[in-house]
Amino acid sequence: MSGQFYVPATGWLHALDMRVKLCMTLVVVVLCSVWGNWMFLAATLVIMHVMLLTGHVPARHVGRLWAVLAPLCAFVAVVMLLSMNAYGTGVLWRLGWWRVTSQTLMMCLVVVLRIADIVLALFLTLFTTSHADWVRGLTGLHLPLSAARRMARAVNVVPQWFAIYRERRLMRAVRGAGGGLAAFSDAWTVLRLRERRASVASLTRGAQMHTGSAKPTVMRPAHMRLMDWLVLGIVVLVAAGVATMVALGW
Amino acid sequence: MADIITVMNLGWRYAAPGGGGDPIQGLRDASCYVQQGALAGVIGPTGSGKSTLVKALAGIIPHCTKGSLNGYVRIADMNVKSTTVSDLSLRVGYVGQDPRAQLTSPTVAEEIAFPLENRGVEPDEIEARVDDVLAMLHIGDLRDRDTATLSTGEMERVAIGAAIAGEPDVLIVDEPASLLDEEGYEDLVNVIDVMRRRTRMTAVLVEQDTRFLAQRADAVFLMVNGEIIRRTTADIFTRERSLLESVGVIVSDQDAMPLVIESDEPGAADNPAVVFNHVHARYADSPPSDAPQLDDVAFAVQQGDFVAITGGNGSGKSTLTRLVNAELRPDRGQVVVNGIDVASRTPVQMAQQVAVVGQHPADMFCAQSVREEIGFGPRALGVDDDEVARRVNEMVRLFDLYEVEDMPAAALSSGEQRAVALACALVMHAPVLVLDEPAAGLDHRLKSRLLNTVARMNQEGTTVIIATEDADLIQRYCSHAARLDQGRLVSYGRVRANGQRFLAPPPVQSSHAASDGKGVAR
């Protein structure tokens, strides 16, 4: 495990400017949170899968994401079905005190699709944006270089922890110790130690250097291509269209 | 010529590990001066304070390390005490002992660009400079590689690249020879020469391998027990050879004799301990365009042999060792250990068959003290407490760890850590012992002590596989060697001895074992 969400590939999504992807993610998150139209939510989910497929993101990574997401969605749906017992009138099924209505099912479907859409939107950016892209894009949004680097590292804290956990578990295993619980606390300690070492290493390479009037730069500054503007335009149009439909009460 | 480095009466005490106990004296009243443009060497036995001294030059001590400093350090017109590490890095390039701890970026190009970005260099210039550095170090093919997939030697080259990218006035490199192959070291030497000529860069090298310093150093500082006991020139290697050897610094008269491997049939072992059967391995994170880490490697290791796996940086040595205990699974092919197909076992199950000491001993430590660390493995395998205590006592005695047995292993010096790691492996009483560069960075005495112990275990029947580039070590201890190049086996066979073969004394209880051909020098 590489310790980052980023999946190297050469698709159009990887080439897309990070700021456009971030905008796309934010638009999807906001629209899916605001509009509960199940057809819109389902269509968004399908479109994002098509984007990942055409962007050459390997299917096994999307599969791994669903391996975590599907049980989560199922859990949420079951909790909703059990707890929204008194909601709705169109009873589809009854078992003693517990009843399932068409309205409850529809609400479950909308919530599950929302969760899936939001998570997919986040991972659409995470899978296709490298550390350099994050730094480039965030400095393009006028964040200071040091802050951009910190945020780019923070994005991958969770996969880094998992990678270290697996490493520690393996180290214990080759010494004959099974079981992974002790490796949990090990992993946190090692992660903090590595963060500290990286911080010292950064200082020896000039991070936080006083350079007077010279501002830090990036090797390849962010630059919007025609394709990036096109995609941004589409995102804005879709957002405007959906906002109009919501306003019209669809 | 003016001094670019001035160290006066420098003392440093590390804060006690874990907050309790006594501080550890790192430096005592050290003083030295280095002229601009000079090549200075810092030599001395393991634990003598060499790394502590150069960390003080780079500002890591005192700014990033807990402890107390007294004395004075000035480097490139900057007082280290009152200048931040970042500002020192404007003129000082530093490469530490562990390159993994120095890599800050996910790709090689980003790593080398990092210091230039911090300086505000224009993007076009950054790209050009990165290309220059990659070319100087002959690592152009690593440009877009994920730094996590590099071998340790490759990481060292990248770390050197990042240190020289900003064209520092002073370049400090801590023990590069222990990590670089011949080509890599030659590139470093060439880079130092070019930069000294072009920009009058000053170079400070900490080394156990003194060949280069003996030929080219302008100044040599010999450190023992935290003190600089000699401030002299390269003449020390001839004038005071006996002093150097008495403190564990090896002095080579000439270049190391080349390793000669007599060609044998790689699969011919009538009683194999380990069989590599056409193994092919590629790390999951490696790009498909890169060559695999191992490509169709096939040879067999006889029971009781002492086999070296050798080759340049990135040749696949460490990868091959990680297959033996199921730490890594081959994509194709098979690894068999004492008749057991490793693919059918977990690493926990293989721990009874194979004991491993990795390249980075600190990575394996899990316990709170050295005693607990050594007892960890046998306890995990279900050995009873009395037997565990007996084995731990044996290892503490064997490696003379009495003074540190209650300290956490992570707080020890590098040499002590390697001794503890080896003790952790030997205590398992496994029939196969795998070592990955066990002597890297150790002084001659400590290296001999550790390897003599391994050789005695080999004589008693333990099969030993050691991954190393040290030709002298291979000729002194190994019966056979397998040479890898870019993941492929290029030769396998008996090692032609260089006349200084280690001869272990026969074990007291079985004097006839010396004649059965197992592990005794041929």
> CB contacts < 8 Å between A and B, how many?
152
With beta carbons under 8 A apart, name residues in chain A contacting B90. Answer: 206, 209
The per-residue pLDDT for range B228-242, each reduced to its tens digit, is 999 999 999 999 999
How is residue B463 written in tokens? 């099969």
**Bridge partner residues of B482 (DSSP):** B309, B492
Contact B110 A132 (CB under 8 A): yes
Here the ipTM equals: 0.87
Residue A202: per-residue pLDDT: 95
Distance CA B93, CA A216 (A): 18
Residue of chain A minimizing CA distance to B434:
A174
Alpha helices in chain A (DSSP H): 12-15, 18-34, 38-54, 59-83, 102-128, 131-140, 145-154, 157-174, 181-204, 226-247
Distance CA B463, CA B321 (A): 13
Residue B101's nearest CA partner among B50, B155, B150 is B155
Distance CA A142, CA A145 (A): 9
Residue B252 has pLDDT above 80, yes or no: no
Which residue's entry shows tokens 């005071």? B240
Q: Where in B182-252 does DSSP place strands (E)?
A: 202-206, 219-224, 227-232
Contact A178 B348 (CB under 8 A): yes
Residue B499: per-residue pLDDT: 59
| Helix (H) or strand (E) segment spanning residue B27 | strand B24-35
Say which range, A129-143, B59-73, B253-267, has the weakest mean pLDDT. Answer: B253-267
The per-residue pLDDT for range B329-353, each reduced to its tens digit, is 999 999 999 999 999 999 999 999 9
Residue of chain B minimizing CA distance to A170:
B327
Q: Which residues of B49-68 are buried (b: 16+ CB within 10 A; e: fewer)?
A: bbbbbbbbbbbbbbbbbebe
Distance CA B110, CA B108 (A): 5
The per-residue pLDDT for range B159-197, each reduced to its tens digit, is 999 999 999 999 999 999 888 988 899 999 999 999 999
With beta carbons under 8 A apart, name residues in chain A contacting B118. Answer: 145, 205-207, 209, 211, 216
Contact B82, A181 (CB under 8 A): no
Average pLDDT over residues B310-334: 93
**How is the beta sheet containing B170-174 ordered, strand by strand?**
B92-95, B170-174, B202-206, B39-43, B219-224, B227-232
Q: Which of B105, B173, B321 best tests the A interface by mutation, with the highest count of A CBs <10 A?
A: B105
DSSP conformation letters of B224-243: ETTEEEEEE-TTHHHHTHHH
The per-residue pLDDT for range B55-95, each reduced to its tens digit, is 999 999 999 999 999 999 999 999 999 999 999 999 999 99
Q: pTM for the whole thing? A: 0.88
Q: Which of A1, A165, A219, A223 best tests the B interface by mutation, with the highest count of B CBs <10 A?
A: A219
- Facing B121 at nearest CB: one of A167, A208, A217: A217
Tell which wins on pLDDT, B260 or B136.
Answer: B136
Contact B89 A204 (CB under 8 A): yes
With beta carbons under 8 A apart, name residues in chain A contacting B284. Answer: 1-2
Residue B414: per-residue pLDDT: 82
Residue B514 has pLDDT above 70, yes or no: no
What distance in Å separates residue B91's CA from the closest CA in chain A? 10
Residue B363 has pLDDT above 90, yes or no: no
In Å, what is the CA distance from B33 to each residue of B69, B239, B265?
19, 21, 56
What distance in Å separates residue A3's CA from the closest CA in chain B? 9
Contact B60 A197 (CB under 8 A): no
With beta carbons under 8 A apart, name residues in chain A contacting B116. Answer: 219
**B115 reaches A (C-beta below 8 A):** yes
With beta carbons under 8 A apart, name residues in chain A contacting B155. Answer: none
End-to-end CA distance of chain A: 45
Query: pLDDT band at residue B258, thresholds of 50, 70 and 90?
Result: confident
Residue of chain A minimizing CA distance to B367:
A186
Which residue's entry shows tokens 């990955």? B436
The per-residue pLDDT for range B413-443, each reduced to its tens digit, is 888 899 999 999 999 999 999 999 998 888 8
Three state DSSP letters for B284-348: CCCCCCCCCCEEEEEEEEECCCEEEEECCCCCCHHHHHHHHCCCCCCCEEEEEECCEEHHHCCHH
